[in-house]
Structure 1
Amino acid sequence: MVSPSTSPADAPRGQRADAQRNYERVLAVARAVMDEEGTQASLRDIARRAGVGLGTLYRHFPTRDALLEALLRQGFDRLAEKARTLADERAADEAMAEWLRDFVANSNTYRGLPASMMATLADEDSSLHASCLAMREAAGGLLKRAQKSGDIRPDIDATDLFALVNAVGWIAEQAPSLAARRERLLALVMDGLAPRRGPS
């Protein structure tokens, strides 16, 4: 029997709110753990650190790939939104540099992905592909803006840009001794993207 102070619709809403909080907490913890340990981090450890049971984690994310997909989609969406915000708030060169720093700093999320996840990225019908494309298009907008302002050379395209910044992230991951130089390496990339000055 439902108490006078509680309508039948209230309980499901409360349950959905709890489930949403659990979902978001698991994602936040999973991102932190995988940044530390890589994509093969223990799901049991993620659940423990999130303060939920392993069964709760599996209800939201039945497989490791499902969790990785959610993390990637969230990351892509956040980077796309940041690109749009920076375009409104910063000068073209500052916006491009800050976005690239953020992309490289978070690039560990994209390392060590299973082949199934890479296939999902390439699947035009997947939501993950759509989020990745939106992120790339938003970054491409920053690139075009920086080229229009004369801060980046005109012969660079988005493929060049992502190849270069991904290389910086990969180098820092493969050689931990170089991780502290990530900012310097990215600055060198930015120097290389700048228009040539004076006689060639």
Structure 2
Amino acid sequence: MTPPKRASGPGGDRPLRADALRNRARVLEAAEAVFAAHGTSVSTEEVARRAGVGIGTVFRHFPTKEALLEAVFVARLDRLAAEADALIGAEDPGEAFFSFFARVVGHAATKNAVTAALAEAGIDVRETTAETGRELRRALGALLRRAQDAGAVRPDIGLPEVLALLVGASQAAEHVAGDDGVRARTLAVVFDGLRAAPDHAE
């Protein structure tokens, strides 16, 4: 079970009140939408306006813009891990695996922009997301195994190869940003390489 969020700064060992938790969630949701639409250079004031809160509320939860970017990044990975977990019991394991792969790639541009901004600020993204990253890899590994057991994905592919393909496909998607047709065809090529040969399928 996820522990309650706690206040930032002095007295940060206090669990947040319900209204503070709601405000924090609104700020995170607004920040993700604003960064996705306008890039990470957008002002914190714009995030506050989108969330319908004062700038002071934003800074109470996220003392710096880097802290806000970091929280957005971690929240996105948390959500992806939860979505992957929810798909593990899907009736069609192959469809679950490929649809999740496509979803991750679809969010590549924003993810890569936030990653770059954090790296530029000197934040170790790998360290920051270590726990959430492990959960995401675990869930993705489960999706892969189920898809392979169902004969939908070739049996000689492991999680490291899938992660490498995800990185490559995400960079390709960012490169062709705005051209959904090229992105869809590129993904189709990747998926063709991942699919099991007819003699491996059930």
TM-score range, shorter chain: 0.7 to 0.9
Greater displacement, 138-147 / 15-24: 15-24
Residue aligning to 1:68:
69
Residue aligning to 2:126:
122
Contact 2:96 / 2:143 at 8 angstroms: preserved in 1? Answer: yes
Distance in 2 (alpha carbons) for counterparts of 1:103 and 1:109: 11
Contact 2:88 / 2:139 at 8 angstroms: preserved in 1? Answer: no
TM-score by length of 2: 0.80
Distance in 2 (alpha carbons) for counterparts of 1:116 and 1:51: 29
One-letter amino acid of the structure 2 residue matched with residue 115 of structure 1: A
Bigger radius of gyration among the two: 1
Distance in 2 (alpha carbons) for counterparts of 1:42 and 1:52: 14
Residue aligning to 2:87:
86
Contact 1:76 / 1:135 at 8 angstroms: preserved in 2? Answer: yes
Greater displacement, 63-72 / 45-54: 63-72
Residue aligning to 1:16:
17
TM-score by length of 1: 0.80
Pick closer, same or farther for the CA change 1:102–1:118 going to 2, 3 Å.
farther
Distance in 2 (alpha carbons) for counterparts of 1:111 and 1:197: 36
What pairs with 1:9-158 in structure 2 (closer than 5 Å)?
Answer: 16-112=17-113, 113=115, 114-115=118-119, 120-123=124-127, 126=128, 128-158=129-159
Distance in 2 (alpha carbons) for counterparts of 1:92 and 1:137: 16
One-letter amino acid of the structure 2 residue matched with residue 86 of structure 1: L
Pick closer, same or farther for the CA change 1:21–1:111 going to 2, 3 Å.
same
Contact 2:109 / 2:173 at 8 angstroms: preserved in 1? Answer: no
Give CA-to-partner distance per residue, 1:18-58, whole Å, 9 cap, x none: 21121111111111111112222221111111111111111
SS at the partner of 1:195?
A: coil
One-letter amino acid of the structure 2 residue matched with residue 141 of structure 1: A
Distance in 2 (alpha carbons) for counterparts of 1:120 and 1:49: 28
Identity within the alignment, %: 39
One-letter amino acid of the structure 2 residue matched with residue 121 of structure 1: V
Pick closer, same or farther for the CA change 1:92–1:134 going to 2, 3 Å.
same
May I ask how many residue pairs the two structures share in their alignment?
Answer: 181
Residue aligning to 1:196:
197
Residue aligning to 2:182:
181
